């Protein structure tokens, strides 16, 4: 029974089942630390070489699948150190000089997240490339813009796609911001109070590529803000992907039929052979909830912890690893899926056969003739009701009928078209062809030649 309890506790506190993936960062950090100890004369050069050779050999063993991780050693740090003792003997004990597991753990996590944040940023750029390509191919296609999922005003399809480009640009900026706060060296903080050896933290920072060194040892070992920031940025980008996914699901349905996505991003039905289910897009919506959950989990873990380190912080990794993998795979698959989108221009045009979507343009027409907007709005509300009840387009209404609603209507009212509507929105951020072309130029500049790589 006692053995069972010990096994239960051992398995409960062990993090090796998930933190093994930090082995590269752990070994890299240890090698930099040993180099510094040697440089500072804290350990002999020969001992440093022995340790570094041993660590390099352990990395090879792990990558070749030859090292069996042991749960009783709890985590990746102790597993590597134990193996180092087996390989080089007692000199391995010098590795942990001037270092605690507290600053070692957070070092590994920061190294990991720095790498993954850069990968995330790159994948966002590739998705943006796909959106720009799709917008370029459809930059003169007019579609209905929606509010409340009801047709509102004509817009260019490219303008719609570029709205997502801007969302993802903000996401990129958020990840760059979180990267700045991740790029801080904690090693040298010890357990919480710093270390009593004459170490050179700037040397380690340069070896590991950190631009900053932490300024408070207590904060350094207890800070997980950088994890929260990544998770928050990840939650936002998954929200944006989920919105895009929702429109892909809607637009590829028989009811809309605006787009078709490649069969490789859909699945069939077990009993209905005609089906092309947009499962990839649907799963992105579902996975968004997981990423939200991981953000709430780390916030909840950290919300009441006293300074400095507490074992609760071990819970910072599983959710983070899950989020990193989910965001990366989602971005990668969306970049590919967006490239396959085929636009059904005829179906989009047919959706606007009834030109009630031009009601705002007709109201603006009256305003330009001198009518206050609220009065113009009221005129068009009544005119729209008349057209809908009589099942006619605005173009099918005679000029005499127009005059019954307002004497300001003239023959030029028939010049208002879908094309004139989008062309009229020629202001910064608008949907006119000129503004969309400018937006595409800006987007290509922001991508800095990343497309096509």
What are 316-364's pLDDT values in tens digits? 999 999 999 999 999 999 999 999 999 999 999 999 988 899 999 999 9
Among all chains, which residue has been given the structure tokens 């490789």? 264
Residues 108, 113, 316, 15, CA torsion sign: negative
Strands 184-185 and 212-213 turn out to be parallel
Q: Specify the length of the chain in residues.
A: 453
Give CA angle at 237 (234, 243), nearest 5°. Answer: 140
User: Is the preceding peptide bond at 93 cis, omega within 30 degrees of 0?
Assistant: no
Whether the pLDDT of residue 3 is over 90: the answer is no
pLDDT tens for each residue of 190-210: 999 999 999 999 999 999 999
pLDDT tens for each residue of 128-151: 999 999 999 999 999 999 999 999
Query: What pLDDT shows up at residue 368?
Result: 95
Provide, rounded to the nearest whole percent, the portion of the chain with pLDDT above 90.
92
pLDDT band at 268 (very low <50, low <70, confident <90, very high): low
Task: Evaluate whether 251 touches 288 at the Cβ level (below 8 Å).
Answer: no
Q: Do domains 2-97 and 105-137+154-181+218-350 have the same CATH topology?
A: no
pLDDT band at 176 (very low <50, low <70, confident <90, very high): very high
The CB density around residue 364, as the number of other CB atoms within 10 Å, is 18
Q: Which residue has the higher pLDDT, 11 or 185?
A: 185
Query: What pLDDT shows up at residue 8?
Result: 87
Task: Evaluate whether 280 touches 333 at the Cβ level (below 8 Å).
Answer: yes
Query: What pLDDT shows up at residue 277?
Result: 87
Whether the pLDDT of residue 113 is over 70: the answer is yes
* Long-range pairs for 380-389: beta carbons < 8 A, 24 or more residues apart: 383/359, 384/356, 384/359, 387/356, 388/356
Q: How many helices (H) does the chain have, and how many strands (E)?
A: 18, 6
Active site residues: 148, 269
Q: At what angle do helices 373-389 and 359-368 cross, to 10 degrees?
A: 140
> What pTM value is reported for the model?
0.93
The mean per-residue pLDDT over the stretch 219-231 comes to: 98
Fold of 105-137+154-181+218-350: Fumarase C; Chain A, domain 2 (1.20.200)
The mean per-residue pLDDT over the stretch 371-392 comes to: 93
Task: Evaluate whether 179 touches 117 at the Cβ level (below 8 Å).
Answer: yes
Fold of 355-416: Ribonucleotide Reductase Protein R1; domain 1 (1.10.40)
Residues 6+ apart with CB under 8 A from 70: 16, 79, 82
Give the best-scoring range by mean pLDDT among 165-179, 262-276, 348-362.
Answer: 165-179
Query: What pLDDT shows up at residue 182?
Result: 98
Task: Evaluate whether 209 touches 161 at the Cβ level (below 8 Å).
Answer: no
pLDDT tens for each residue of 382-415: 999 999 999 999 999 999 999 999 999 999 999 9
Query: What pLDDT shows up at residue 273?
Result: 58
Query: What pLDDT shows up at residue 297?
Result: 97
Query: What pLDDT shows up at residue 360?
Result: 94
Query: What pLDDT shows up at residue 274?
Result: 66
Structure tokens at 310: 């507490």
The CB density around residue 418, as the number of other CB atoms within 10 Å, is 19
pLDDT tens for each residue of 232-252: 999 999 999 999 999 999 999
Sketch the domain layout of the chain as residue ranges.
2-97, 105-137+154-181+218-350, 355-416
The mean per-residue pLDDT over the stretch 371-380 comes to: 94
Which residue, 11, 6, 2, is CA-closest to 74? 11
pLDDT band at 453 (very low <50, low <70, confident <90, very high): low
Fold of 2-97: Fumarase C; Chain B, domain 1 (1.10.275)
Calculate the alpha carbon distances from 290 to 126, 184, 287, 317 in Å.
Answer: 23, 28, 5, 14
DSSP state, residue 277: B
The CB density around residue 329, as the number of other CB atoms within 10 Å, is 14
Task: Evaluate whether 379 touches 366 at the Cβ level (below 8 Å).
Answer: yes
Query: What pLDDT shows up at residue 354?
Result: 87
Provide, rounded to the nearest whole percent, the portion of the chain with pLDDT above 70.
97
């Amino acid at each position: 029974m006692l053995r069972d309890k010990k096994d239960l506790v051992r398995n409960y506190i062990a993090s090796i089942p998930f933190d093994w993936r930090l082995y590269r960062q752990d070994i890299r950090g240890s090698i930099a630390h040993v180099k510094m100890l040697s440089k500072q004369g804290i350990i002999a050069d020969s001992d440093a070489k022995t340790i570094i050779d041993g660590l390099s050999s352990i990395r090879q063993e792990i990558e070749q699948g030859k090292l069996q991780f042991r749960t009783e050693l709890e985590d990746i740090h102790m597993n590597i150190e134990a193996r180092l003792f087996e390989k080089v003997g007692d000199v391995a004990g010098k590795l942990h000089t001037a270092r605690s597991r507290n600053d070692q753990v957070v070092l590994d996590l920061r190294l990991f997240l720095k790498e993954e944040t850069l990968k995330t940023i790159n994948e966002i750029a590739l998705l943006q490339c796909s959106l720009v390509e799709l917008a370029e191919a459809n930059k003169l296609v007019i579609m209905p813009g929606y509010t409340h999922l009801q047709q509102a005003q004509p817009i260019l399809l490219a303008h719609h796609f570029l709205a997502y480009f801007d969302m993802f640009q903000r996401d990129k900026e958020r990840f760059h911001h979180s990267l700045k706060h991740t790029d801080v060296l904690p090693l040298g903080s010890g357990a919480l109070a710093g270390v009593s050896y004459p170490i050179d933290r700037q040397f380690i920072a340069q070896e590991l590529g950190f631009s900053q060194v932490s300024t408070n040892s207590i904060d350094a070992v207890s800070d997980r803000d950088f994890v929260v920031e990544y998770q928050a940025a990840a939650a936002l980008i998954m929200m944006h992907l989920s919105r895009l996914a929702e429109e892909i699901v809607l637009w590829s349905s028989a009811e809309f039929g605006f787009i078709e996505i490649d069969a490789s991003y859909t699945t069939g039905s077990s009993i209905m052979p005609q089906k092309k289910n947009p499962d990839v897009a649907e799963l992105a919506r579902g996975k968004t909830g997981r990423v939200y959950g991981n953000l709430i989990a780390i916030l909840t873990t950290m919300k009441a912890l006293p300074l400095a380190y507490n074992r609760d912080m071990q819970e910072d990794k599983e959710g983070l690893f899950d989020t990193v993998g989910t965001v990366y795979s989602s971005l990668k698959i969306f970049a590919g899926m967006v490239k396959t989108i085929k636009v059904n221009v005829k179906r989009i045009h047919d959706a606007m056969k009834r030109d009630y979507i031009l009601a705002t343009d007709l109201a603006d027409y009256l305003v330009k003739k001198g009518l206050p907007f609220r009065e113009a709005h009221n005129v068009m509300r009544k005119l729209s009701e008349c057209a809908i009840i009589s099942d006619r387009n605005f173009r099918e209404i005679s000029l005499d009928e127009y005059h019954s609603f307002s004497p300001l209507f003239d023959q030029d009212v028939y010049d208002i078209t879908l094309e004139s509507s989008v062309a009229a929105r020629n202001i910064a951020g608008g949907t006119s062809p000129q503004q969309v072309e400018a937006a595409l130029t800006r987007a290509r500049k922001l991508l800095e030649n990343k497309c096509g790589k």
